[in-house]
Amino acid sequence: MNLAGLNRYMLRKLAVVTVGMFGFGYALVPLYEAICEVTGINILAIGEQTFATGKSKLSANTQVDTTRTITVEFDANSRGPWDFKPAMRSMQVHPGELATVMYEFQNIQNRRMAAQAIPSYAPKQAQTHFNKLECFCFSQYTLDPGEKKSWPVAFVIDPKLSKDVTTITLSYTFFEVGGKTPAAPVAAVDAPAARLSGS
């Protein structure tokens, strides 16, 4: 076979390989979609598609208990000279439902400060069923004089919470980190009671 014939043979071979590669790449799209649908790998993209078309193939969130409504009250306390409050005082949620509330903070001092919030719950049994997905209480913050911040608390109440609980109070105490805040007041001991216990 001469050089010209060898070149033509190689050209035909390369053309076949190129067409084969193009065909394989073209076939990958439906093949990928079929594999993802069977295995459930691409579940997020399917959800986006159904949201865009308005047709939902995904089942509703069965974790939300729509037969119950819980009132969540929000409280804010501060151990220092600053403004700290929830954007709303209460909301009603179903167990298993994702909810978000904003807390507002302003450093009204003329100096920088570092602070952190500590949560508490009432009734006490609600604590293990109050699941926070996002919360400013997870970190410490440094704020400049006059600086304002708004922070979200995203939470879900576990449907396993006792049916007796219809109201939960989420309370935050915001305190300065670094010892600038005076100590919490100690309850005064009743003098007659102290004398009785000492006798």
The dihedral through the CA atoms of 123, 125, 131, 135 has a sign that is positive
Cβ neighbourhood burial of 109 (10 Å; 0-12, 13-18, 19+): middle
Element (H, E) at 79: strand 70-79
For 95-152, how does the pLDDT look when each residue is reduced to its tens digit (9 = 90+)? 999 999 999 989 888 888 888 888 999 999 889 999 999 888 888 888 899 899 898 9
pLDDT of residue 45: 44
Q: Collect all residues with Cβ–Cβ distance below 8 Å to 150 and sequence separation of at least 6.
A: 87, 102, 103, 104, 105
Residue that the structure tokens 């500590």 belong to: 118
Superfamily of segment(s) 70-176: Ctag/Cox11 (2.60.370.10)
Q: Which residues contact 58 (CB under 8 A, 6 or more apart)?
A: 43, 46, 47, 50
* pTM score, whole prediction: 0.57
The pLDDT tens digits for 51-104 are: 444 444 444 455 788 899 999 999 998 777 778 899 999 999 999 999 999 999
Extract the tokens encoding 152. 């979200």
**Residue ranges of domains in the chain:** 3-53, 70-176
- CA-angle at 17, arms to 15 and 19, nearest 5°: 70
Alpha-helical segments (H) within the chain: 3-39, 43-53, 191-198
State the pairing for strand pair 141-143/113-122: antiparallel
> Average pLDDT, whole number, for the chain?
77
Residue with tokens 């009671």: 193
First to last CA, the chain: 122
Per-residue CA distances from 24 to 19, 30, 129, 146 (Å): 9, 11, 52, 63
